[in-house]
Amino acid sequence: MFGLIGHSSSFADARVKARQLGYDAFADGDLDVWCTAPPQLVESVSITSLTGATIEGSYIDSCFVPEMLSRFKTAKRKVLNAMELAQKTGLQITALGGFTSIIFENFNLLREQQVRATTLDWSRFTTGNTHTAWVIARQVELNAPTLGIDLGKARVAVVGATGDIGSAVCRWMAESIRVAELLLVARQQGPLEELRDSLAGSSRILPLDLALAEADVVVWVASLPKTLTIDEATLRKPCLMVDGGYPKNLDSRFSHPDIHVLKGGIVEFHTDIGWQMMEAADMERPQRQLFACFAEAMLLEFEGWHTNFSWGRNNITLEAMERIGAASRRHGFQPLALSPQSTVHSLVA
Ligand code: NDP
């Protein structure tokens, strides 16, 4: 059995969901009440691969909401409690979705293996980042040409380049796609220099505004402040923006017909899944579309690879991306693509 640990994208959304599920006390409760809420196993599903194999799994809501990010102890407790519930439920491989993998890494939860009577078995959990990185890289590879962007001549900016997903995407862009130049964006200079020196091909470290002004493609793999403003007049046209961060809120910032925002790290399954859990995640086709990190747990279950396939930081290899990518295709997942109507303007222009 596979597991998915997730959370609502805001406190307001979480209250609406609680009301729908009949948890009125939580729906009416304030953030302090939510801080005490235990994780909930919300839904169980069975899904069938293109190969015909069927697997079963469950979705656990950690009852964490992004408004709790500054409450370190609460955030930690939410993630650990959800992992404990996954393990006690007997889920063999569980993906840490949304902010939960970032909380796990940034708050060093490896030191907190004991949760009450349960010793967490790390091999039962995956961040899902290898599949997410592969999906984002493929989204660039497949969609840039539909806008007339030749990747062999293109500059690709990666915002969050030194992160777990960002560094893997950079390696894929440099070695598998061989883009003309990578523009690396993050806040800390040391890791940026280390990354630049490790990459094949040409790459430069730039501040965000300068990178945006030069880029034909921008991959966003950082959680950026809501207050960030971008002047679309300074961007190249056409420009492909792959919004791989969480939450996904870039599309509302652009209106120019030659700036194309694609939700990054999202896959579409070959058939309806028959679940409710993606309804609140702002997907166009919530019955088939899901986060690539969740799909990684499903892939590991389909393949019988009961191991923490994606774990730690900046360990993702191109071989692992290819391996999970091949499994993704085999079982019927496809990276989300731009709609054909949205690409017409840039191709004609
Ligand atoms: P990491 O914490 O490993 O990396 C974050 C990266 O972003 C680092 O390079 C960091 O570098 C950079 N960064 C953070 N803040 C800023 C900023 N204000 N400006 C520029 N760079 C910044 O995270 P992951 O790689 O694990 O995840 C990246 C994003 O992808 C997250 O938003 C996560 O929620 C999302 N995600 C999406 C998934 C999906 O959609 N399917 C699945 C999993 C994750 P520095 O600190 O030096 O700035």
Alpha-carbon torsion 108, 317, 247, 42, what sign?
Answer: negative
Q: Which tens digits make up the pLDDT trace of 162-218?
A: 999 999 999 999 999 999 999 999 999 999 999 999 999 999 999 999 999 999 999
Per-residue pLDDT at 249 exceeds 90: no
Give residue 104 CA to ligand 1 midpoint distance, Å: 13
For residue range 46-60, list pLDDT tens digits in order: 999 999 999 999 999
Domains of the chain: 2-126 (no CATH), 133-265+338-348 (3.40.50.720)
Contacts of 304 (CB under 8 A, 6+ apart): none
- Residue 348: pLDDT band (50, 70, 90) is low
Query: Does any ligand 1 atom lie closer than 6 A to the CB of residue 164?
Result: yes
Burial letters 69-88, b for 16+ CB under 10 A, else e: eeeeebbbbbbbbbbbbbbe
Structure tokens at 193: 């220099």
End-to-end CA distance of the chain: 50
Overall average pLDDT of the 18-39 stretch: 93
Q: What mean pLDDT is predicted for residues 293-311? A: 97
Q: Using a 6 Å cutoff on CB, does residue 42 contact ligand 1?
A: no
Identify the pLDDT of residue 349. 61
* Partner residues linked to 159 by β-bridges: 185, 220
Asked whether the beta carbons of 130 and 321 are under 8 A apart, the reply is yes
CA distances from residue 93 to 52, 89, 122, 125, 288 in whole angstroms, order as listed: 20, 11, 10, 5, 21
61-116 pLDDT, tens digit per residue, is 999 999 999 999 999 999 999 999 999 999 999 999 999 999 999 999 999 999 99
Residue from 79, 165, 316 to probe ligand 1 pocket by mutation (most atoms less than 8 Å from CB) = 165
Dist CA 98 CA 285 (whole Å) = 19
> In this structure, are residues 131 and 259 in contact, taking their beta carbons and an 8 Å threshold?
no
Q: Residue 346 — pLDDT band, cuts 50, 70, 90?
A: confident
